[in-house]
Amino acid sequence: MILAIDVGNTNMRVGLVRGGDVTAARRAPTRGNRSAAHLATTLGALLAEDGVALTDVESIFVASVVPKVTAALQELAAERGIRLVSADHSTIPIAIRVDNPAAVGNDRLVNAYAAGLLHGMPVIVIDLGTATTLDVVAPDGAFLGGAIAPGLGLGLEALSEHTAQLPQVALELPERAIGTDTVSAMLSGAVLGYFGLVKELVRRIRAEMGAAKPKVVLTGGLSALSWAQSIPSVDIIDPLLTLRGLALLGRELAARPKQPRVPE
């Protein structure tokens, strides 16, 4: 059994991989899972919901943007004898045409790899998480770079934490752009404002790509919310894109011919 783990700044998503694709997915907060012992407890509880145990896992494929959790996973895998593969610029089979490939977030590369294979190229991937990222895949499948902005939830949290009178609000789609109270005004600025941000970035990226005409794929934790379908310019919503990319990477590496062992 393969376990796909997407470690984000706020949440970690865990997917069971059977038959080359994700068959079940669970979520847990990233905070509190920065040691091997805590991870073992969390993963054990999540797997138990699907009737399996950590002892059933043969391989873990992980895309992580939190180094402490990455290190804890490495320790856990070593203790349990589980093969661990970190998805990064050296393991993901995709050309990376940026100034410093090693500095690109692993989740962004996995998303680009998965979107190209699953939804066609060229493609723009919008990931709505703690940060909002737009990643661009060329017609030949290469990662070209993209844009990074603060996430929707992060923006609302910043308003609440750094002002004296603005409250914490839940992410919802407001009915009107003209808010008639503080909450509706904040939602208008945050949610509808993000619609404008996404629309303008997609427009500019498409203009820079010329005749390529990329599709737009939406993913990330917030992509599963009902109002995500209202975001302009989006062609496909795939909330599990990162986990599915890790599953594809596992299948790709398994299909490669094994290198002959060199005698010592």
Query: How far apart, in whole angstroms, are the C-alpha atoms of residue 114 and residue 160?
Result: 36
Secondary element (H or E) of residue 127: strand 123-128
DSSP letter string, 134-149 = EEEE-TTS-EEEEEEE
Cβ atoms of 107 and 131 within 8 Å: the answer is no
Please enumerate in sequence order all residues whose Cβ is within 8 A of that of 245, keeping only pairs 6 or more positions apart, or say none: 63, 87, 110, 111, 113, 114, 115
Q: Which residues face 86 on adjacent strands?
A: 62
If you search the block for the tokens 């929707």, which residue do you land on? 152
Please give the structure tokens belonging to residue 85: 């593969």
- Six-digit token pair at 108? 């962004």
β-strands 2-7, 11-18 pairing = antiparallel
Helix (H, G, I), strand (E, B) or coil at 86: strand
- The active-site residue out of 107, 127, 135, 238 is 107
124 close to 136: Cβ distance less than 8 angstroms = yes
Q: Is 107 a catalytic residue?
A: yes
Q: Which amino acid is at 150?
A: P
Residues catalogued as catalytic: 107
